[in-house]
Amino acid sequence: MIRAMGHAQLTSLPHQIDPDALAALPRTSGVYIFQGEGTLPLYIGKSVDIRSRVLAHLRTQDEAEMLARSRRVDFIETAGEIGALLLEARLIKQQSPLYNIRLRRLRKLCSIALPPGPGGTLRFVTDKDVTIGQTAGLFGLFSSVHAAQSKLRELADQHRLCLGLLGLEKLGQRGCFGLQVKTCLGACVGREDRSVHDQRLLNALQDMQVHAWPFAGAVDLIEQNGDWQQRHRIHHWRHLGTWCSRTQAFEPHAQQGFDLDTYKILVKPVMMNTALLQAVP
C-alpha cells in the first residue's frame, strides 16, 4: 500500500467516476494515482487542485489508452504544493509508473562538475556521484549528458572557450578545431593562460550554479492548510521526512544522498525565502 507523506490515509475512487463520486475529489493540493489491474500504478501526478487535474485527465483524448487500463484513482492530500511535489517525486522513484515516461527521465538529471583548482578535468555527474553536502562546483540541472554537452557548446561559442579543454572534442598537436577557425583563443596551445580560460568558463556558468546548503543544520519547511500543518525536514537538500499535525507523527524517508529532483523542488523556495522555514534544534 502506498502511504501518504506525513498522513497515513490514502483514498480510492472507482475509475468510472459518477457525479456523486466527483464530489469526493478534493480541491486541495496533493498527489493522485491512476491504478490498473496490477500492483504498480499506471500514472502518478500532483496538483494544487486534485479534482480539477483528475478531470482534465479524463477529458484528454491523448490519454485514452492509460484511462482504459485504469480501474481506480487514488489520491493523497498534502498541506501545500511543495509537499505534493516532494511526494510525487518520491513515489515515482519508488513505483516507476508505466505512463510517467517524462518524469521518470528526470531521475537521470546530471550536472557539470568543475574541479576546485585550475587545469583540472570537467566532469558530468548525477546525484549518485554527489556526496552529502558537497554541491560546490556543480552547475546546471540537465536531463541528460547530451543536454549538458549542448549547453557547454553554446557557452563555448558565446565566450570563445576551447572545446578540447572542455572535453567535447579531441585535441591534436595543433590544438582544437576552434583554434583553426578562430573561435578558440588558444588556451589549448598556450596562447592564452589556462587560468584565464577557466575563469571565463566559471563566469559563463555562474548563473547555473547549484547552491550550497545555506544553513548550519536541518530546517523544517512548514506548510499550513487551515488547521492542518505539515513540516518537511530538510538538510543538505535532502528530504529527511515529514511531521503531520493530523497524526502527530514524523514519517522518516530513506533518502540517503543528494537528489537532484529534490534540490530542484526546494532551491527556489529556500534560496528566495518564499517558504516558511524553521531551524531544527
Q: What is the pLDDT of residues 82-137, one digit of tens each?
A: 999 999 999 998 898 989 875 454 456 788 998 777 667 888 887 666 765 666 67
- Asked if residue 171 belongs to a domain, the reply is yes
Q: Write out pLDDT tens, residues 151-161.
A: 999 999 999 99
Cα gap 41→247, rounded to integer Å: 26
Q: Write out pLDDT tens, residues 185-214.
A: 999 999 999 999 999 999 999 989 888 899
46 φ, ψ to 5°? -140, 160
What is the total count of domains within the chain? 3
Average pLDDT along the chain: 85
- Asked if residue 213 belongs to a domain, the reply is no
| pLDDT (average), residues 263-267 | 92
**Statement to judge: residues 187 and 241 lie in one domain:** no
Beta strand ranges found along the chain (DSSP E): 11-14, 30-35, 41-47, 72-77, 110-113, 123-126, 138-142, 219-225, 228-235, 238-244, 249-252, 276-279
Cα gap 236→136, rounded to integer Å: 12
What's the pLDDT band for 19 if we cut at 50, 70, 90?
low
The tally of CA atoms less than 13 A away on the side-chain side of residue 109 is 23
Using alpha carbons, select from 57, 50, 38, 36 the residue that is nearest to residue 4: 50
Give me the pLDDT at residue 131, please: 63
From 102, 131, 150, the end of a domain falls on 102
| pLDDT (average), residues 48-56 | 93
Q: Which of 43-47, 60-64, 89-93, 149-153 has the lowest mean pLDDT?
A: 60-64
**Statement to judge: residues 130 and 199 lie in one domain:** yes
Does residue 180 or residue 80 have the better pLDDT? 80
- Asked if residue 49 belongs to a domain, the reply is yes
Whether 40 and 70 have beta carbons less than 8 Å apart is answered as no
Residue 77's domain is classified under what CATH number? 3.40.1440.10
CA 277 to chain centre: 20
35 φ, ψ to 5°? -105, 140
Cα gap 138→110, rounded to integer Å: 9
Backbone CA torsion sign across 98, 100, 103, 105: positive
Using alpha carbons, select from 91, 110, 79 the residue that is nearest to residue 264: 110
Whether 46 and 88 have beta carbons less than 8 Å apart is answered as yes
Domain residues for the domain of 266 are: 219-279
What's the pLDDT band for 12 if we cut at 50, 70, 90?
low
From 102, 123, 138, the end of a domain falls on 102
Assess whether pLDDT exceeds 80 at residue 7: no
From 67, 82, 102, the end of a domain falls on 102
Q: What is the DSSP string of 222-273?
A: EEEETTEEEEEEEETTEEEEEEETTTTEEEE----S--HHHHHHHHHHHHTT
For residue 55, what is its C-alpha cell? 478531470
What's the pLDDT band for 269 if we cut at 50, 70, 90?
very high
- Asked if residue 6 belongs to a domain, the reply is no
Assess whether pLDDT exceeds 70 at residue 4: no
**Statement to judge: residues 138 and 203 lie in one domain:** yes
**To the nearest whole percent, how much of the chain has pLDDT over 70?**
84
